[in-house]
């Protein structure tokens, strides 16, 4: 006897075993995907923060006529180095007050170590401040996470 086709419009009872099985499967999938999504969101937030920092630094180089020219290589590396060393004071103080808990300090140390090694090896990626195209893209950026791929990035070594 041929097997009957399943009815896609069949209504399941809310307390049936099949509904419970489907709910457990959905919960398992969300539990597995939640840390992955959180890491992606945190990485995106960090990239947005970094780009905002460089945009703010670029605004200080605005001329009287309102234009911003591309920076020399040495000046761009200096700004990147300042960004990489931004948490050194917090790490050196090692104070565990409400603002910076023990776990925050561990995260700062880990992040600083990673960024310093990337900068030393020449793999630290930041917005390009040395080309007209990169400067224009950064100044026109709307400071939203979904538009960071439009920025011109470059690897720095310092």
The confidence score (pLDDT) of residue 148 equals 79
97 pLDDT more than 80: no
Distance from the first to the final alpha carbon of the chain: 75
Contact, 42 vs 140, CB < 8 A?
Answer: no
Look at residue 56 in the predicted model and tell me its pLDDT: 92
pLDDT at residue 90 is higher than 60: yes
Q: Does position 45 have pLDDT exceeding 90, yes or no?
A: no
Length of the chain: 158
Q: What angle do helix axes 73-84 and 102-121 make, rounded to 10 degrees?
A: 160
Q: What is the pLDDT of residues 14-35, one digit of tens each?
A: 999 999 999 999 999 999 999 8
Radius of gyration of the chain (CA): 24
Instruction: Map out the domains of the chain as residue ranges.
Output: 17-156
User: Which architecture characterizes domain 17-156 according to CATH?
Assistant: Up-down Bundle (1.20)
**pLDDT value at residue 31:** 93
How high is the mean pLDDT of the chain?
86
Asked if 126 and 47 count as a contact pair (C-beta separation under 8 A), the reply is no
Q: Lowest mean pLDDT: which of 4-8, 93-97, 151-155?
A: 93-97
pLDDT above 90: percentage of residues in the chain: 35
For the entire predicted model, the pTM comes to 0.70
């Amino acid at each position: 006897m041929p097997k009957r086709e399943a009815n896609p419009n069949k209504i399941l009872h809310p307390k049936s075993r099949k509904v419970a099985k489907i709910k457990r499967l959905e919960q398992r999938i969300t539990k597995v995907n939640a840390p992955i999504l959180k890491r992606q969101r945190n990485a995106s937030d960090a990239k947005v923060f970094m780009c905002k920092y460089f945009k703010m630094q670029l605004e200080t180089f605005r001329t009287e006529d309102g234009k911003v020219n591309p920076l020399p290589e040495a000046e761009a590396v200096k700004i990147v180095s300042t960004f990489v060393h931004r948490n050194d004071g917090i790490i050196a103080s090692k104070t565990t007050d409400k603002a910076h808990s023990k776990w925050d300090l561990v995260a700062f140390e880990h992040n600083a170590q990673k960024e310093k090694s990337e900068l030393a090896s020449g793999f630290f990626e930041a917005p390009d401040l040395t080309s007209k195209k990169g400067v224009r893209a950064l100044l026109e950026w709307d400071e939203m996470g979904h538009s960071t791929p439009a920025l011109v990035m470059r690897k720095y070594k310092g």
